[in-house]
Amino acid sequence: MCRQGRMVWIGAVLLALLAGCGNLGWIDLTFQPNADRKDSGEANLRRINSAEGWIEFFRDQINARREQLYGRDGDFLILEADLFLGGAPAPVAQTAPAADGGAVSDDSGVGGPGFSNTNVQEIGVDEADVVKTDGQYIYMLVGSELRIIQAYPASELQELASVPLDGSSWSNSQLYLNADRVIAITQPQQVYLDDPIILLGGGAVDDGREDEPRAIQSPVELIEEYGLYYEHQKTNVAVIDVSDAAMPVIEAQWTLDGYYVDSRMIDGVLHIVLNQSPYIPFDLEPATITTDNIEKFIPAYGVSFADGSQDSGTLVSWGDFYRPADPDGYNITSVVSIDTTNPRAEFGSVAIMADPGTVYASTTALYLTDPDYDYFGDWRETLDIHKFALTKGGAVYSASGSVEGRLVNQFALGEYQDHLRVATTTGWPWAWDAQTSTNNVFVLATDGDTLKTVGSITGLAPGEQIYSARFLGERGFMVTFRQIDPLFALDLSNPADPRVAGELKITGFSEYIHPLDEDHLLTLGRAGTDEGFIEGLQLSIFDVSDLSNPQLVTTKQIGGPGTYSEAEYNHKAITFYPQENLLALPVQIYGDFWEYETSAVQVYHVTPQDGITLRGQISTEPNAAAEYPSYWGWSRGLFIDDRVYAVTEISVQAASLDNPGDVTQSIEIEGSSSVFDGGFDDIIVLPAGEDDAGSSDSGSSEGGSAGETDASEGIEI
Q: What is the pLDDT of residue 335?
A: 98
Q: Which residues contact 91 (CB under 8 A, 6 or more apart)?
A: 357, 358, 371, 406, 407, 408, 409, 706, 707
What is the reported pLDDT for 436?
81
Q: What is the CA radius of gyration of the chain?
A: 25
Beta-strand runs (E) in 508-577: 509-517, 520-528, 534-543, 551-558, 575-577
- The yes-or-no verdict on residue 687 having pLDDT over 70 is no
Q: Which of 190-204, 228-242, 277-291 has the lowest mean pLDDT?
A: 190-204
Over residues 119-138, the pLDDT tens digits come to 999 999 999 999 999 999 99
pLDDT > 70 in the chain, percent? 72
Helix or strand run (H / E) with residue 443: strand 438-447
Return the sign of the alpha-carbon dihedral for residues 567, 102, 335, 398. Answer: negative
DSSP state of 376: T
Q: Does the pLDDT value for residue 168 go beyond 80?
A: no
Q: Can you give the pLDDT at residue 365?
A: 98
Query: Do residues 118 and 132 touch, judged by C-beta distance below 8 A?
Result: yes
Model confidence at 219, pLDDT cuts 50, 70, 90, reads: low
Strands 359-361 and 300-305 turn out to be unpaired
Over the stretch 361-404, which tens digit does the pLDDT of each residue have? 999 999 999 876 554 555 567 899 999 999 888 999 999 999 99
The Cα–Cα gap between 664 and 155 comes to 8
For residue 281, pLDDT over 60 is answered with yes
Q: What is the pLDDT of residues 474-521, one digit of tens each?
A: 999 999 987 677 899 999 999 999 999 999 999 889 999 999 999 999
pLDDT at position 340, please? 96
- Rounded to an integer, the average pLDDT of 413-427 is 96
pLDDT > 80? residue 7: no
Give every CB contact of residue 609 below 8 A, 6+ residues apart in sequence: none
Q: Residue 667 pLDDT more than 50? A: yes
CA dihedral 441→357→707→570, nearest 10 degrees, is 60
C-alpha to C-alpha distance for 5 and 336, rounded to whole angstroms: 32
- C-alpha–C-alpha distance, residues 442 and 421, integer Å: 6
- Enumerate the domain spans of the chain: 106-191+227-676
Structure pTM? 0.83
How many angstroms separate the CA atoms of 523 and 521, rounded? 6
**pLDDT exceeds cutoff 50 at 691:** no
Tell me what pLDDT residue 631 has: 65
pLDDT digits (tens, 9 = 90+) for 21-79: 333 222 233 333 333 344 455 788 999 999 999 999 999 999 988 887 766 554 444 33
pLDDT category, 666, cuts 50, 70, 90? very high
Which residues 6+ apart lie within 8 Å of 491 measured at CB? 474, 475, 498, 499, 500, 501, 547
Q: Name the phi and psi angles at 109, rounded to 5.
A: 70, 130
Residue 212 three-state SS = coil
Rounded distance, CA 206 to CA 215, Å?
Answer: 9
pLDDT at 20: 35
709 vs 215, residue with greater confidence: 215
* 663-668 vs 499-507, strand pairing mode: unpaired
Between residues 80 and 42, which one has the greater pLDDT? 42
Residues 514-532 have a mean pLDDT of 92
DSSP characters over 569-634: T-GGG-EEETTTTEEEEEEEEE-TTS-EEEEEEEEEEEETTTEEEEEEEEE-S-SS--SS-EE-S-
Rounded CA-CA distance 429/444 in Å is: 26
Residue 646 has pLDDT above 90, yes or no: yes
Q: Which helix (H) or strand (E) holds 447?
A: strand 438-447
pLDDT value at 271 more than 50 = yes
* For range 535-563, the mean pLDDT: 96
Question: Average pLDDT, stretch 174-201?
Answer: 71
| Average pLDDT score over residue span 660-675 | 83
Residue 610 has pLDDT above 90, yes or no: yes
Average pLDDT over the chain, rounded to an integer: 80
Residue 445 has pLDDT above 90, yes or no: yes
